[in-house]
Amino acid sequence: MKKTVVFTISLLILLPGLSGQEASLKPYGLKSGIIEYSYSGEKVGKGTLYFDDYGMKSAMYTDAVENGEKRKGWIVTFGDYQYMWDPDRSDEGFKLQNPIIAWLAESSKGDVESFTESIYSQMGFSKAPDETFLGKPCKVMKGNMGKVLTWNGILMLLDMKVMGTVSHQEATKIQANVPVDAKYFVIPKNIKFSEMPTMF
């Protein structure tokens, strides 16, 4: 269960994985940006989210230690898939068909914010009063497992405790509406990506 919950939240963090048929959507309220994060708890380290076209393109880089093991990795959303690989193991990676596309179309008629709220609601979260974080007015969802803060659809803070495991992720620096190099959204051609089964 713990892995499923964490995986679901990871998909929500990278919500911009939408196909061309949803090209009119704007998953984020900012055209582009670079968001830096810190991790603590079971996973300790840093991460950086790059996005453009209001979140239709996104790439997340993580450099952290989890369960005593050093882990680096990229997750890039491109079309209907998310691609994951470790830059230190450049010969192999994984790709996952993004279930969010179908969910979004069926459950919220393209309203990304309503969709996100509905998914967290299924996990026992409910809307709470807005909070300010890093000077930004954030939407808040709270539940027995913790709380999540978002601003313009972007994750700002996540506090979770699942089966005794504590996870904390928070934004530490926000660069809004800045140019983002297209190189971050390129899928490496030299990597063989094995397909992972959808977990939903």
Q: 68: domain CATH number?
A: 2.50.20.10
Which domain does 97 fall in, by range? 2-195
In a domain, 41, yes or no: yes
pLDDT in tens for each of the 200 residues of the chain? 444 444 444 445 554 444 444 445 677 889 999 999 999 998 999 999 999 988 888 999 999 998 888 989 999 987 678 899 998 887 889 998 865 655 655 555 555 666 667 777 877 889 999 999 999 999 999 999 899 999 988 999 999 988 888 899 999 999 999 999 999 999 999 999 998 866 55
**Number of domains within the chain:** 1
Name 109's Cβ contacts closer than 8 Å, sequence gap at least 6: none
In a domain, 94, yes or no: yes
Helices (DSSP H) in the chain: which residue ranges?
2-13, 100-107, 112-122
What distance in Å separates the CA atoms of residue 99 and residue 152, rounded to the nearest whole number?
Answer: 22
In a domain, 108, yes or no: yes
Q: List the structure tokens of 129.
A: 């009063």
In a domain, 200, yes or no: no
In a domain, 45, yes or no: yes
In a domain, 48, yes or no: yes
